[in-house]
A and B are shown apart, each in its own frame.
Chain A
Amino acid sequence: MALQATIETRRLPTSQALARIGRAVRSNRKATAGTALLAIFILVSLFPGVIAHDNPTLDAYAPHLGLSSAHLLGTTAYGQDIWAQLAWGTRNVMIIAFTAGLATTAIAVLVGIAAAYLGGLWDASLNVLTDVLLVIPLFPLLIVIAGYAHGGGTLVLIVVITATSWSYTARQLRSQALTLRGRDFLEAARVRGERKLYIIVVEVIPTMTSLIVASFLTNALYAVLFASSLQFIGLGDPNTVSWGTMLYWAQNNAALQTGQPLWALAPGACIAALGAAFALLNYAFDEIGNPALRPVRVRPLKRGKPRA
């Protein structure tokens, strides 16, 4: 997870920055692939009925069926259509990814940037909190919390993951915010007499857009991995339809050993694919970050053509 913070040497208005990102995404192959993949998953989560016509929870068919045109991935030991479960489960996964991803990033933005700007005791104590949470191994921590809570539904998973995963991003945002502190445009704002909150919200945060977006992608990815892992080991709600719970039921029925490998491998492959989408986008952002948001270079005028 090698996120390299990109440092702007000159501030651009938000709209222009976003437009540049958009253009860069289209021109970078990794970014295009990642975006396309992500878009597919988002579409499936919104309209799962389009690709899967069966009810995912109904034990409607004969169990242990193999691949066929009626059942693209066969059926589970309970007679449910695996393809339908995969499609409908996407919704639960995307909800977790986006909600937990956004919430985690939001908390990280709050803590990281506040620490950088409030300075002093605030900075010191938030820093300590961040660093401590950073080194405590997250997955065992999640397991213990979920264990005491006897597992829980999607909401519990989101809350638990959000509460523990924000530290890495907070630290990154803080370092970048610190480097920005001395920049001219911020000095200018301060001299203008703007309040600290205004500076943070209107000046600083937009400048860090690329890092924040990249962090969101990482946090979403880890939210999906953690949530699926917790569901896999039985700490989620086994009655929800999700990729992680599919893994749980497959494991409980020794799917691999009893000739139903797709039941276990398909959800894992989806998690991998979604993760790859996030990772590709992230990697692309690393590459894009520098050239796209570099200070504007004056392009030589082409005869007769207006400047682009």
Chain B
Amino acid sequence: MRRLIKAGAVLATLTLAGALAACGASSPGSGGSSAKTTTLTISNENGALWTCDFSPFNGSDTLLSVGLVYETLDYVNPLQSGKVTPMLATSYSWGAGDKSLTFTIRPGVKFSNGTPMSAKDVAYTFNLLKKYPALDLSGVWSVLSSVTQTGADQVTMDFSAPAVPWFYYIADQVPIVSQAIWSKIANPVAYPDTHPVGTGPYLVNPCTSANITYTANPDYWQAGEPRVKKIEYPAFTSNNTANDELANGQAQWGAQYIPSIASFYTSKSPDFHYWFPPTVNVSIVPNLTNPLLGNVKVRQAISYAINRSQVSSLGESGYEPPANQTGIVTPTFSSTLDSSLVAQIGNAYDPAKARQLLEQAGYKMNSAGVMTNAKGQQLSFTVINIGDYSDWVADMQVIAQDLKAVGIVVTPDNLTNTDFEADLYYGKYQLAFYDQQTFGPSPYYELNNWLNSADTAPIGKVATTNYERYSNTVTESLLNQYAATTSTATQQSIMNQIQQVMVSDVPIIPVVEAVDWYQYDTASFSGWPTAADPYAQPSAYAYPDMEQVLLHLQPK
């Protein structure tokens, strides 16, 4: 008995002593940034440990390899209306009728194993995607008919039909790999690529499940670059840890959603900043086959009833700005916005107008405060939402309150990701809350997905992106015309007409704008992208944009 107690006391003392020693040993201390360093640490919670696979054709690995190790033909900046920065291709030109695209490949570029990169590798890469459609993440072969090397340093791509917007995917999203290496791989789809060989500014050295270290490529084709010589990319399995270490200054480049960011992060140091550039709309998606929602006045009423600023400030802590019914994301694409149309809409939040529209549609408020029509049908709907996204759940709570005020009852149904997607794709819902998963250099990319009849399907079949089942031949022809022109004037005129469609037909109701998550610490590095200088999409997970960020950064 005595011995037991003695043992316990010894154990307790040891633990306490060890802990006290530990207090002095580590702990960089919170608040204030770390010591000046030339190693950049990224805080991007991926929810899992690293697999140390770097295949540039595997959607889970692209953010770790494309831009850092592998490069693309050009860099196309979605935040500057598609401004092109030549990378592996020095120039490009469109052929007759915009049905062919020719790239001139940069000379003197080497893969990290010393072999030179040439037009041969470019042509090979694209044809690899054709041979193995699972590798074609952007689906470029849905518009290409052939890719051939047409000169010592030229590659020509032929289109089956004009698809000008696809320039973004072809030039910016396809990583170029070495033919010498990849032609010897038996099964490229399953190839893990644990030791990637690319033309990019960094080498993987080494990778463990807990952390990836990137070191500068000494033979990188841009002389003097990269100036950040080492990158540490730890594997965070929980958001809290990633946020905490960002707030401690242990990581300098964050891609995190941080609640109450002012008190959590920016107040801790004058060097801590954030910027959330808006990308796509988060919208209420009505099922247009629903008889009550099929009435455009009901949809317009919904649009006027929602206090978007309140949804943004309460549901999204103000991080995601209010959207507008034209579907144009501002300020990212403000230059495309048709201001006369905006003036026409008037006050976007107008409950009185909403009630008026409903009355015009034949609805009257009943004793329970719900709009009912002559046939006794009530404006009461369920809205499906992804339960895991607590900010979307909070958004819907505000929206429900706003709609109740004009007599429309919406009951949220919070589902898991998989259940939600299943219901959405097959059209088994009344209202849904969602955003498109694609973002590009103009509003076309998102709006085309929403409005193109080619992307929809009847209820019971899978709709790829046009979930609301919107079908309109005029709109479709407008979208196809956009795809066939390189003239910015024509593009703008078509965009104006698309905005008109959004306002008159109300196929979806944009509420807030989704953003890129981005925090940065200016203590040790300068050259970060900002709202004033949006030279690239700033999130660490945006590829190949993160390469541009890294090439601009320099240690102080």
Contact = CB atoms under 8 A, between A and B. Distances in A.
Contacts of B310: 59
Interface stretch (B133-141, B257-265, B537-545): B257-265
Contact of A258 (B263, B387, B401, B415): B263
Contacts of B259: 77, 252-254, 258
A239 B240 contact: no
A151 B387 contact: yes
Contacts of A257: 244, 247, 263-264
B517 to A, nearest CB: 15
A64 B260 CA distance: 9
Contacts of A239: 393, 397, 412, 414
Nearest to A79: B314
A238 B390 contact: yes
B314 A59 contact: yes
Interface string A244-270: 000001001110011110000000000
B546 interface: no
13 contacts: A59-B397, A77-B260, A77-B317, A78-B394, A150-B387, A150-B416, A237-B414, A239-B393, A253-B259, A254-B243, A254-B259, A254-B260, A257-B244
Report whether over half of chain B's contact residues are helix, strand or loop; otherwise say mixed.
Answer: helix
Interface in B414-433: 414-416, 419
B394, B414, B416 interface centre (most CB from chain A within 10 Å): B394
B315 interface: yes
Given A238-B387, A254-B259, 14 more contacts: A59-B310, A63-B314, A78-B314, A78-B398, A79-B314, A150-B415, A238-B390, A239-B412, A239-B414, A253-B259, A254-B240, A254-B260, A257-B247, A258-B260
Given A77-B260, A254-B240, A150 B419 contact: yes
Contacts of B258: 254
A35 interface: no
A85 B401 CA distance: 17
A237 B412 CA distance: 11
A56 to B, nearest CB: 12
A260 to B, nearest CB: 8
Contacts of B387: 150-151, 234, 238
B160 to A, nearest CB: 43
A278 to B, nearest CB: 31
Band of interface residues on B = 20 to 34
A78 B397 contact: yes
A254 to B, nearest CB: 5
A253 B416 CA distance: 20
When A and B form their complex, which 6 residue pairs have the shortest distance between CB atoms, in order from nearest? Answer: A258-B260, A253-B259, A258-B263, A252-B390, A254-B259, A59-B314
Contacts of A150: 387, 415-416, 419
Nearest to A260: B260
A77 B397 CA distance: 13
A197 B315 CA distance: 58
Contacts of A63: 313-314
Report whether over half of chain A's contact residues are helix, strand or loop; otherwise say mixed.
Answer: loop
A229 B258 CA distance: 24
Interface of A: 57-59, 63-64, 77-79, 150-151, 234, 237-239, 249, 252-254, 257-260
Contacts of B247: 257
Contact of B315 (A78, A151, A234): A78
Contacts of B398: 59, 78
Contact of B414 (A64, A238, A254): A238
B240 A238 contact: no
Contacts of B317: 77
A78 B259 CA distance: 12
Contacts of A249: 390
B11 to A, nearest CB: 26
A266 B244 CA distance: 24
A252 B244 CA distance: 14
Nearest to B244: A257
Nearest to B258: A254
A307 to B, nearest CB: 52
Interface string B373-398: 00000000000000100100110011
Contact of A58 (B264, B401, B414): B401
Interface string B260-280: 100110000000000000000
A144 to B, nearest CB: 15
Nearest to B243: A254
B260 A253 contact: yes
A259 B398 CA distance: 23
Contacts of B390: 238, 249, 252
B443 to A, nearest CB: 30
Contacts of A254: 240, 243, 258-260, 264
A64 B262 CA distance: 12
Contacts of A59: 310, 314, 397-398, 401
A58 B263 CA distance: 24
Contacts of A260: 260
A145 to B, nearest CB: 15
A33 B128 CA distance: 77
A77 B394 CA distance: 10
A63 B240 CA distance: 22
B81 to A, nearest CB: 35
Interface string B469-510: 000000000000000000000000000000000000000000
Contacts of B394: 78
A77 B401 CA distance: 17
A57 B264 contact: no
Contacts of A258: 259-260, 263-264
A77 B244 CA distance: 19
Interface in B233-264: 240, 243-244, 247, 258-260, 263-264
Contacts of A77: 259-260, 314, 317
Contacts of B314: 59, 63, 77-79
Contacts of B315: 78
Interface string B172-186: 000000000000000
Contacts of B416: 150
B531 to A, nearest CB: 24
Contacts of B415: 150
A1 B521 CA distance: 51
Contacts of B313: 63
Contacts of B397: 57, 59, 78, 239
Interface in B193-248: 240, 243-244, 247
A109 to B, nearest CB: 37
Contacts of B419: 150
